[in-house]
């Protein structure tokens, strides 16, 4: 029976609503493809076969391939980023005939920086030229539309750009002038998917919280696991329907599995073991054709993440609001490089260690063996056993029973193995020996963990460095204080705060973001994935605060973060390098260079070693 003022919701009605929202999310991209892509304006002189732009600018390529929300695949583009940020030059387009009341030009880079100039020039029938300089915000690494009303007397338009800047991030890019449907139509259709996903996330979280603090029903928990898995697939669909190798997937794990055989399992990379990627690469080599390896790699990564959701859903894990905690993993902001990615699987498996800190003792020897096996595998899959060892030691000391002591022993062994390898191989640390820059250090933490998470990417770009540092540290301090307030689950909340502090310190030390000149929300984002999820978990636990103001503040922050993240939820598909067409050299065992993700990365395949 519900108490007065408490709403009762029909599970059937919620299921229908969830299915409808999921259907909208799936169909919206199909509808958006019906909108014609932008088309280039014709030349004013009617010539064909001539370059559209002259000067030293070049088409974007390689690492400089930019985010394209405008669908410019049929529109030519040029950039001054020809040899890094410090390249200089000038470019001038041909004259084009403006056939619509609005002339549209795509802009990227930093046209507002000193030394950068970008302008459109309209010419009338008498030859009088009217220049219009770009005065919008810097689009950075993404194409942004510059819509210019055509002067009444204009018969032609051209673009002129100059890059004479000396500073880092000193480049500018522009496109061939084009015609396209009004942007609001595409934005309206494009908004359907993120809005539907946001509403679906709210519905799932609300349903989870309404079913009780721990959501104890096994059906409800399994439904939450399925929902989290569905959101994960929706976040990065191309990783499943068009799988490709990513970075070390091919250049390290694939190549060394073939070159070293079983020895590759224990071959350190970057100073420590990556046991799971090694196992997957070795098993793929011996069980499937090379054309299927990317599917196996990504499929195993997806399965391990779903396994994490099942682990969190276990009745032995004493965490409240488990469905909401599971949903935070695919919903939290980020570049998504950690998700469905074998190379970066260690950032997912670290959460198995976190979940074990909240694990109740097993009731059978079989369950105990399974717990220790999971700890051993994930402890040898990245350096996080060493980072979290103090918390396992504290738990073993506090409880002084068999299972915490065994868990601590396994973690210590894994930490010792990884530590010995790190000392033996001497991994190169970025910025080793450089003094700490505190302002930039705390600014990056504030922007990556707080500003971006709850206030969106535009807030990151708009606020100065000191604002990220001060605001972020104030927010995290208040979050920790709120988590340590007396009340139910205080011990678990305190343990979660300690976990956040240790992992944040370790990741920030490893990436040395304080040495960056600018935070573009792309560099080293995997290092902030675990702390960002843990911050989201603490905010979610704040929903249950006994202080109404704190509870509603936590809910408001979560709602704001979801709403601002929704337009960026589905990760854009990268170029398809057609692995099945390019992998035949590996099948034949002959040397080859094969393109893989991310853009600009490749496998230098040495050929199959001779059999003894």
**Tens-digit pLDDT profile for residues 6-65:** 444 455 576 677 677 777 777 777 777 788 889 999 999 988 889 999 999 998 876 566
Tracing tokens 């990065």 back to the chain, one arrives at 236
CA dihedral 385, 387, 392, 398 (to 10 degrees): 170
Q: Does residue 146 register a pLDDT over 70?
A: yes
Contact (CB, 8 A) for 409 and 392: no
d(CA 466, CA 79) in angstroms, rounded, equals 32
Given this model, what pLDDT does residue 202 score?
67
Token pair listed for 282? 């070795």
Q: Which domains does the chain carry?
A: 39-180 (2.60.120.940), 211-427+440-568 (no CATH)
What does pLDDT average to over the chain? Answer: 88
The DSSP 8-state label assigned to residue 574 in this structure reads -
The whole-angstrom distance between residue 79's C-alpha and the CA centroid of its chain comes to: 26
Given this model, what pLDDT does residue 428 score?
60
Cite the DSSP H helix spans in 261-332.
275-287, 293-313, 322-331
**Residue 305 binned pLDDT confidence (cut-offs 50, 70, 90):** very high
Token pair listed for 166? 């000396």
Query: 275: closest CA among 358, 356, 346?
Result: 346
Lowest mean pLDDT across 397-411, 442-456, 478-492: 478-492
**Residue 168 binned pLDDT confidence (cut-offs 50, 70, 90):** low
Where in 101-229 does DSSP place strands (E)? 102-109, 116-124, 129-133, 140-149, 154-163, 172-175, 178-179
Half-sphere exposure of 19 (CA within 13 A, CB side): 6
Q: Could you tell me which residue, 84 or 129, shows the higher pLDDT?
A: 129
Given this model, what pLDDT does residue 509 score?
87
Given this model, what pLDDT does residue 62 score?
60
The DSSP 8-state label assigned to residue 359 in this structure reads B
Q: Does residue 429 register a pLDDT over 70?
A: no
Question: At residue 41, what are phi and psi to the nearest 5 degrees?
Answer: -70, 150
Kindly list the distances between the CA atom of residue 33 and the CA atoms of 38, 189, 236, 257, 567, in Å, as whole numbers in the listed order: 12, 10, 18, 41, 17
Rg (the chain; Cα; Å): 27
Given this model, what pLDDT does residue 425 score?
66
The DSSP 8-state label assigned to residue 244 in this structure reads -
Given this model, what pLDDT does residue 521 score?
84
Contact (CB, 8 A) for 41 and 176: yes
Three-state secondary structure call for residue 318 = coil
For residue 598, is the peptide bond before it cis, meaning its omega torsion is within 30 degrees of 0? yes
Lowest mean pLDDT across 137-141, 166-170, 297-301: 166-170
Can you say whether the dihedral through the CA atoms of 175, 181, 183, 189 is positive or negative? negative
From the CB of residue 484, how many other CB atoms can be counted at a distance below 10 Å? 12
d(CA 265, CA 134) in angstroms, rounded, equals 55
d(CA 594, CA 579) in angstroms, rounded, equals 9
Q: Does residue 130 register a pLDDT over 90?
A: yes
Contact (CB, 8 A) for 104 and 38: yes
* Rounded average pLDDT over 359-387: 95
Contact (CB, 8 A) for 202 and 559: yes
Contact (CB, 8 A) for 495 and 558: no
Q: Which residues contact 241 (CB under 8 A, 6 or more apart)?
A: none
d(CA 200, CA 19) in angstroms, rounded, equals 9
* Rounded average pLDDT over 63-91: 83
Contact (CB, 8 A) for 358 and 317: yes
Given this model, what pLDDT does residue 117 score?
92
Instruction: Tell me, yes or no, if the pTM score tops 0.85.
Output: no
d(CA 311, CA 609) in angstroms, rounded, equals 40
Q: Does residue 434 register a pLDDT over 70?
A: yes
Question: At residue 169, what are phi and psi to the nearest 5 degrees?
Answer: 60, 40
Q: Does residue 96 register a pLDDT over 90?
A: yes
Given this model, what pLDDT does residue 10 score?
56
Given this model, what pLDDT does residue 19 score?
72
Given this model, what pLDDT does residue 517 score?
80
d(CA 167, CA 190) in angstroms, rounded, equals 35
312-342 pLDDT tens trace = 999 999 888 888 899 999 999 999 999 999 9
- Backbone angle region of 325, left / alpha / beta, with phi > 0 → left and psi within -120 to 50 → alpha: alpha
467-496 pLDDT tens trace = 999 999 999 999 999 988 887 778 888 999
Three-state secondary structure call for residue 111 = coil
181-227 pLDDT tens trace = 877 777 777 777 777 766 766 666 666 555 444 445 577 778 889 88
């Amino acid at each position: 029976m519900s108490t007065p003022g408490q709403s009762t919701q029909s599970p059937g009605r919620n299921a229908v609503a969830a299915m409808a929202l999921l259907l909208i999310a799936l169909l919206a991209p199909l509808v958006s493809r019906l909108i014609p892509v932008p088309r280039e304006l014709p030349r004013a002189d009617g010539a064909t076969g001539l370059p559209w732009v002259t000067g030293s600018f070049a088409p974007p390529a390689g690492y400089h391939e930019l985010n394209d929300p405008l669908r410019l695949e049929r529109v030519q583009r040029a950039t001054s980023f020809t040899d890094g940020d410090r390249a200089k030059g000038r470019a001038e387009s041909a004259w084009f005939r403006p056939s619509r009341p609005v002339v549209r030009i795509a802009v990227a880079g930093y046209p507002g920086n000193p030394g950068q100039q970008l302008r459109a020039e309209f010419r009338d029938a008498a030859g009088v030229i009217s220049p219009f300089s770009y005065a919008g915000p810097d689009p950075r690494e993404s194409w942004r539309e510059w819509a210019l009303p055509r002067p009444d007397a204009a018969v032609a338009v051209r673009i002129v750009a100059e890059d004479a800047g000396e500073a880092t991030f000193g480049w500018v890019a522009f496109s061939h002038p084009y015609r396209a449907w009004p942007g609001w139509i595409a934005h309206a259709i494009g908004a359907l998917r993120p809005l539907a996903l946001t509403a679906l996330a709210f519905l799932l979280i609300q349903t989870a919280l309404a079913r009780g603090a721990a959501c104890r029903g096994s059906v409800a928990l399994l439904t939450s696991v399925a929902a989290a898995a569905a959101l994960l697939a929706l976040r990065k669909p191309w990783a499943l329907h068009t799988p490709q190798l990513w970075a070390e997937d091919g250049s390290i794990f694939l190549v060394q599995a073939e070159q070293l055989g079983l020895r590759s399992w224990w071959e350190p990379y970057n100073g420590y073991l990556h046991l799971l990627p090694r196992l997957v690469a070795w098993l793929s080599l011996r069980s499937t054709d090379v054309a299927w390896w990317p599917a196996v790699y990504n499929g195993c990564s997806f399965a391990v993440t779903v396994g994490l959701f099942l682990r969190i859903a276990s009745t032995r894990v004493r965490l409240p609001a488990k469905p909401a905690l599971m949903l935070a993993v695919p919903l939290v902001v980020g570049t998504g490089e950690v998700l469905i990615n074998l190379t970066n699987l260690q950032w997912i498996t670290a959460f198995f260690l976190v979940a074990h800190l909240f694990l109740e003792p097993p009731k059978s020897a079989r369950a105990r063996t399974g717990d220790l096996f999971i700890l051993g595998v994930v402890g040898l899959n990245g350096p996080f056993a060493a980072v979290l060892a103090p918390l396992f030691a504290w738990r073993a000391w506090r409880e002084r029973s068999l299972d915490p002591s065994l868990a601590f022993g396994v973690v210590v062994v894994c930490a010792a193995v990884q530590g010995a390898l790190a000392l033996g191989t001497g991994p190169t640390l970025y910025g080793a020996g450089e003094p700490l820059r505190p302002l930039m250090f705390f600014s990056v933490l504030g922007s990556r963990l707080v500003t971006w998470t709850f206030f969106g990417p535009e807030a990151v770009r708009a606020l100065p460095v000191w604002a990220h540092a001060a605001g972020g540290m104030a927010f995290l301090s208040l979050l920790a204080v709120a988590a340590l307030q007396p009340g139910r689950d205080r011990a678990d909340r305190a343990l979660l705060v300690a976990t956040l502090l240790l992992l944040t310190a370790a990741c920030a030390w490893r990436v040395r973001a304080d040495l960056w000149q600018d935070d573009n929300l792309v560099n080293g984002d995997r290092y902030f994935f675990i702390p960002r999820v843990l911050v989201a978990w603490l905010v979610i636990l704040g929903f249950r605060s006994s202080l109404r103001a704190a509870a509603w503040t936590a809910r408001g922050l979560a709602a704001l973060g979801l709403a601002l993240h929704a337009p960026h939820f589905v990760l854009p598909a990268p170029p398809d390098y057609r692995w099945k067409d390019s992998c035949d050299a590996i099948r034949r065992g002959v040397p080859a260079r094969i393109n893989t993700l991310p853009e600009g990365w490749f496998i230098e395949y040495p050929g199959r070693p001779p059999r003894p």
